[in-house]
Amino acid sequence: MAADLESIYLGMRRSLMATALRVVRDPQIAEDLAQESYLRVRRAMEKGPVEHVEAFLHRTAHNLALDYLRKNRTRGHVETMDAADPSALDVADATPSAEERMIQADRLRHVEDLLTQLPDRARRVWLLSRVEGWSYPRIAEHLGVSPNTVFNDVKLVMGSLRDLFSRLDRG
């Protein structure tokens, strides 16, 4: 188990570092996060079997990078509170404005309306794929259809969503 994970990790190390680097923008930190993702996945595998080890490693590296950014933002905010320079506190708030929240809520309502208008199977396929994170073969087996049918259903929904967002952005 550990030997398999180690060989998978060594084969993916550069990719894991790139995943973390896209978020943290620091090669040293990205390398540390890639190594930490290996340790976390190893601990998880000791507790029980892990399906899709490669995907789990990537997700772990990405989540660790996001956690690192959150900690640094919090730490940076606390440290600047004591700063002598008052302009250090002139930082834009990352919280969406009330207007942005209303726009996003409206877009979500449009998406929900669109999903209710789609064929039942296409809607179920899209939810299983994009919301639940199921693979196409798993969805195909679950619904008793071919993986190609699953692909086509996802393509139908994604095209409909693209058209919807295009209309919303224009008008």
More confident residue, 97 or 80: 97
- DSSP letter at 83 equals -
Convert 38-65 to b/e letters by CB count within 10 Å (16 or more is b): bebbeeebeeeebeebeebbbebbbebb
Per-residue pLDDT, averaged over 111-123, amounts to: 93
* pLDDT confidence tier of residue 153, bands split at 50, 70 and 90: very high
What is the residue-wise DSSP string for 4-36? HHHHHHHHHHHHHHHHHHHHH--HHHHHHHHHH
Please say if the pLDDT value at position 78 is more than 70: no
Average pLDDT over the chain reads 87
Greatest Cα pair distance, the chain, in angstroms, is: 66
Residue type, 64: L
Contacts of 69 (CB under 8 A, 6+ apart): 23, 24
Quick one: what percent of the chain has pLDDT higher than 90? 58
Look at residue 96 and give its three-state secondary structure.
Answer: coil
Tell me the pTM: 0.45
